[in-house]
Amino acid sequence: MFKSDRIKRCIAVGVTAFLVIAAGIILFFVIYRFNDVQNALNTLGEILTPITYGLVMAYLLNPVYNFFQGRLEKLFARRKGKNVSKRALKASKALSITITLILALVAVTGLLSMVIPQVIDSIFGIVESLPSNLARLSATLEETLKSYPELDDTAMNLYNNLTAMLDQWIKNDLMPQLNSLVRTLSSGIFGAVNLLKNIVIGVIICVHVLSSKITFCGQVKKMMYAVLPTPKANLLLDNVRYTHRVFGGYISGKLLDSLIVGLICFAFMATFNLPYAMLVSIVMGVTNIIPFFGPFIGAIPSILLIFLVDVRSAVIFAAFILVLQQIDGNIIEPKILGDSIGLSSFWVIVAIVVCGGLFGFVGMVIGAPAFAVGYSLVGMALDRSLRKHNLPIELDTYIDLDHMEEESGQPVAKKED
């Protein structure tokens, strides 16, 4: 018996040593051939693009599918007979997927048909009207500064420098990029076909995932309990459910909140006849998806854009955005999201800065819920470790803690000076 245990320990040590050496070799190879590894990952990402599209579509459409599938299954199941539950399930799945895809197609097509033409017109309108807007703004500033002659030279020099920089940016950067974009859209047949192929394959994958998600979940659970001990499998399953609850609730809630903000912004701008209503509303809605920094990222360039057309309109819009963000932050968003991520503002800022720097816009959107999941999982792991050592898990215990009694494990508070 002793010899058998010794052999097992030797095997465990050998396997561990082998894995450590293999991991070291792989890490050295990744660092030494980083560019090749990066190119390989980019190629793999391009290959997996349609699968990614399909999984994202399925995840976003899953609530809509569940809504129709549950009700249609009950409707079909009212008929009694042999195997009626299987027939009802198949019929409800097929019809629910069809309705979900039709609704998604109608929503996307309608949104794009309304938004894209107005956005294009707004962009080219900005470029065409910019010289006249700048001239009018210059005249307004000159009239205003006549009452303050001591500021006249400084303000006009600053204005001339800014307009010169803006003019150079439009001529050297913006217009060539717009022309390049137009040429790419008009001549990029291969890119359009490739995008269409990825979308079509993504839709097919989305259909299969929605129709077979119960089977897929069962297979994953079976594999988990086959590979892991039961307690660890249960813990992993709870963590996956928690991650889904945080991500699903946050993403769907944030999208709805941003849609409401964009619609309110458009309604206000259209009512008061403010310029570039559609373009600015889209910018405000899209950037609102980003926590904390989003409203500022969208509001500042929008105010500057309106300022070039009309100073009074810019002031009205700036005041409206301040009121809207107060309403959204204190009423709309809490009602929709609640405390879905449970992070303090400090950790939200850290998550956005880090994830945004690593993954761009997508990182800024999913950084907060991803960080919240990691934060919660680490917290639960720490609580389990404390329980094993028979130590308290309440945070208040450690705020005024001086030390723990080694024998009893009881907390001793700091003494007041």
Rounded percentage of the chain residues whose pLDDT exceeds 70: 72
Mean pLDDT value of segment 208-225: 88
Neighbours of 314 (CB within 10 A): 19
DSSP secondary structure letter of residue 392: -
- The Cα 66–Cα 61 span in angstroms is 9
Q: Is the pLDDT of residue 389 over 80?
A: no
Rounded percentage of the chain residues whose pLDDT exceeds 90: 2
The answer to whether 191 and 184 have CB atoms below 8 angstroms apart is yes
Q: What is each CA distance from 22 to 27, 28, 29, 34, in whole angstroms?
A: 9, 10, 11, 17
Q: What is each CA distance from 244 to 59, 240, 316, 340, in whole angstroms?
A: 10, 6, 41, 11
Q: Which residue has the higher pLDDT, 349 or 154?
A: 349
Q: Which residue has the higher pLDDT, 188 or 28?
A: 28
What percent helix, strand, coil does the chain show, rounded to 5?
A: 85, 0, 10
Local confidence band at 82 (pLDDT 50, 70, 90 cut-offs): very low
According to the model, what pLDDT value does residue 278 have? 82
DSSP secondary structure letter of residue 273: T
Torsion of CA 295, 281, 175, 189, to 10 degrees: 110
Q: Residue 104's Cα: distance from chain center in Å?
A: 19
Local confidence band at 300 (pLDDT 50, 70, 90 cut-offs): confident
Local confidence band at 22 (pLDDT 50, 70, 90 cut-offs): confident
Mean pLDDT of the chain: 77
Torsion of CA 28, 32, 38, 40, to 10 degrees: -80
Q: Which residue has the higher pLDDT, 51 or 193?
A: 51
Instruction: Tell me the three state secondary structure of residue 401.
Output: strand
According to the model, what pLDDT value does residue 134 have? 65
- The structure's pTM equals 0.64
- The Cα 48–Cα 44 span in angstroms is 6
Q: Name the residue type at position 180.
A: S
Q: What is each CA distance from 342 to 251, 282, 345, 346, 363, in whole angstroms?
A: 14, 28, 10, 12, 18
Q: Which residue has the higher pLDDT, 401 or 278?
A: 278
Task: Give residues with Cβ within 8 angstroms of 85, minimum separation 6.
Answer: 77
Task: Give residues with Cβ within 8 angstroms of 241, minimum separation 6.
Answer: none
According to the model, what pLDDT value does residue 85 have? 62
Question: 11-15, 19-23, 163-167, 261-265: which has the minimum mean pLDDT?
Answer: 163-167
**Cβ neighbourhood burial of 104 (10 Å; 0-12, 13-18, 19+):** middle
Q: Is the pLDDT of residue 158 over 70?
A: no
Q: Name the residue type at position 414.
A: K
| Nearest Cα residue to 389 out of 373, 407, 376, 374 | 407
Mean pLDDT value of segment 61-77: 81
Q: Is the pLDDT of residue 185 over 80?
A: no
Local confidence band at 195 (pLDDT 50, 70, 90 cut-offs): confident
Mean pLDDT value of segment 387-402: 75
Mean pLDDT value of segment 284-309: 82
